[in-house]
Amino acid sequence: MMGCSPGDAECVDSEKPAHEVTISKGFWLGQTDVTQAAYQRVMGSNPSHFKGDNLPVEQINWEEARSYCQAIGGRLPTEAEWEYAARAGSTAARYGNLDAIAWYSANSGNTTHQVAQKAAKCLGAVRHARNVWEWVADWYADKHAGGSQTDPGGPATGQFRVLRGGSWSNYPRLARASCRSWFAPESRKPRLRFRCAGN
């Protein structure tokens, strides 16, 4: 089920309606965000505000994120794939204690942190620790389309791209599996990062 978790009082309209999604093909997803060292090796630059080889690369716009993933033989995950991995089979809003799984406004010290520092979950030890918002492939829509869907890819066009995961600067309520945000695809912020997926 994608969208609002059962009993989640913090869920908002953009996460509704909860609906059944079938992902029909296996896919891989990066265990962590792309690091600055990895991005530098492939793309020859590092635009990040917070510097450190093992910190997530940030201040990356959507096209740059997509280009990196293509350069390593991957792609950006769809919003549905991202949430499927974030839930790891759970129907809860979070897969663990917030301080154990996420960097957010109360514990981040107003900065990003090295990847793989928070608890992973069961799907191949994928770490969705909220550190910086993650670009996904989909265009943003104000609400989910609803109904049963197979391999959804979001609207065909739009003004904004979807972001998932919350960030070091956000309140706890944004560190939930169904939480969504959006930015114009050309945006560059210290709280924008990504990870790659592929089939």
User: Under CATH, domain 1-8+18-199 is a member of which superfamily?
Assistant: paralog of FGE (formylglycine-generating enzyme) (3.90.1580.10)
Sheet architecture: strand order including 133-139:
180-183, 161-164, 133-139, 192-193
Nearest to 56 by CA among 84, 82, 37, 77: 37
User: Rounded distance, CA 13 to CA 178, Å?
Assistant: 11
The H or E element spanning position 28 is: strand 28-29
Encode pLDDT of 138-183 as tens digits: 999 999 988 999 999 999 999 999 999 876 666 567 778 898 999 9
> Given a cut of 90, is residue 34 above it in pLDDT?
yes
Encode pLDDT of 113-135 as tens digits: 778 766 555 444 444 555 568 99
Other C-beta atoms closer than 10 Å to the C-beta of 184 total 11
What local confidence, expressed as pLDDT, does residue 124 receive? 45
pTM of the complete model: 0.87
What local confidence, expressed as pLDDT, does residue 112 receive? 74
Record the tokens describing residue 107, joined without a space.
């514990």
